């Protein structure tokens, strides 16, 4: 039996894209997967595809920012598993053009609010609701799906490699998520729980677009690495495929 077999992982937005790949890769290692999805029909279809691969998969309804949704997820996990070992906060939204200019002076307030609701506030709400269950795990792991576009260091450097990607609502929501990652990791540093931020890469998903250089296949790699860290692994960091990224 592997070290991670029979651990329970909840992955938000896991019916497609990077979330589904993360579920598939974790499930292949014997982790029991719970897909937290807004659309139960698509979630059940994703679970069926995972089961066909031999993955222990189930589905729970979750809508980021909907009042009471996080508490219902916690109640489901309590009833069926009594704990949670891995939380992958994967769900996210982009309501701007990813590439092609700086919209800081024109971004609409509603776009900012809607983006932060899903990418930041809802992540905190769900994490707080599930922390009592994660604290029952001998090796709790929280993975927050961030983006290299959250990096203030890279955005502000001369000849920035991400100069053309200045979508202010999306980018700053992920910067805020990185800050929460650091703060929560500090609070939990004397426990067995590790909290890290992951940049999966620029992937050909509905959010990333067709121009992205990475295929969806294998895009869960960084999330999986952080989800199954051993006791000597890092906490409070920002990573892509084992490499530390600058804040």
- pLDDT for residue 207: 57
Task: State the average pLDDT over residues 190-197.
Answer: 97
In the chain, % of residues over pLDDT 90: 79
- CA-to-CA distance for 68 and 239, rounded, in angstroms? 31
Average pLDDT, the chain: 91
Per the model's pLDDT, the better-predicted residue between 135 and 4 turns out to be 135
Per the model's pLDDT, the better-predicted residue between 117 and 206 turns out to be 117
pLDDT exceeds cutoff 50 at 140: yes
Give 160's pLDDT tier (boundaries 50, 70, 90). confident
Per the annotation, the verdict on 62 as an active-site residue is no
Task: Specify whether domain 8-244 bears CATH 1.25.40.20.
Answer: no
Identify the CA nearest to 92 among candidates 193, 17, 186. Answer: 17
pLDDT exceeds cutoff 90 at 136: yes
**Is 124 exposed, middle or buried, given 0-12, 13-18 or 19+ CB atoms closer than 10 A?**
middle
For the whole model, what pTM was predicted?
0.94
pLDDT exceeds cutoff 60 at 213: no
Per the model's pLDDT, the better-predicted residue between 235 and 166 turns out to be 235
Task: State the average pLDDT over residues 14-29.
Answer: 93
Q: At what angle do helices 69-80 and 122-134 cross, to 10 degrees?
A: 20
- pLDDT for residue 78: 98
SS3 readout for the chain: CCCCCCCEEEEECCCCHHHHHHHHHHHCCCCEEEEEECCHHHHHHHHHHHHHCCCCEEEEECCCCCCCHHHHHHHHHHHHCCCCCEEEECCCCCCCCCCCEECCCCCCHHHHHHHHHHHHHHHHHHHHHHHHHHCCCCCCEEEEECCHHHCHHHHHCCCCCCCCEECHHHHHHHHHHHHHHHHHHHHCCCCCCEEEEECCCCECCCCCCCCCCECCCCCCHHHHHHHCCCCCCCCCCEEECCEECCC
pLDDT in tens, 33-71: 999 999 999 999 999 999 999 999 999 999 998 999 999
Phi then psi dihedrals of residue 77, to 5 deg: -65, -40
Catalytic residue among 62, 76, 170, 180: 170
Q: Which residue has the tokens 């700086």?
A: 102
């Amino acid at each position: 039996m592997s070290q991670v077999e029979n651990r329970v992982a909840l992955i938000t937005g896991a019916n497609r894209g990077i979330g589904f790949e993360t579920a598939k890769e974790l499930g292949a290692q014997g982790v029991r997967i719970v897909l937290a999805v807004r659309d139960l029909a698509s979630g059940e279809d994703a679970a069926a595809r995972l089961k066909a691969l031999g993955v222990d998969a189930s589905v729970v309804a979750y809508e980021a920012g909907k009042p009471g949704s996080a508490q219902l997820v916690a109640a489901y996990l309590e009833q069926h598993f009594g704990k949670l070992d891995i939380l992958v906060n994967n769900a996210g939204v982009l309501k701007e053009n990813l590439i092609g200019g700086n919209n800081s002076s024109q971004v609409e307030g509603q776009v900012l609010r809607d983006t932060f609701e899903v990418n930041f506030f809802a992540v905190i709400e769900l994490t707080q609701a599930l922390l009592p269950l994660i604290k029952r795990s001998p090796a709790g792991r929280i993975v927050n799906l961030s983006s290299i576009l959250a990096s203030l260091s890279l955005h502000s450097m001369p000849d920035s490699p991400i100069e053309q990607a200045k979508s202010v609502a999306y980018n700053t929501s992920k910067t805020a998520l990185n800050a929460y990652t650091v703060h929560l990791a500090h609070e939990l540093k004397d426990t067995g729980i590790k909290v890290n931020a992951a940049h999966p890469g620029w992937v050909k998903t509905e959010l990333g677009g067709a121009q992205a250089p990475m295929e969806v296949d294998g895009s869960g790699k960084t999330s999986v690495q952080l989800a199954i860290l051993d006791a000597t692994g890092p906490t409070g960091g920002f990573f892509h495929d084992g490499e530390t990224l600058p804040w």
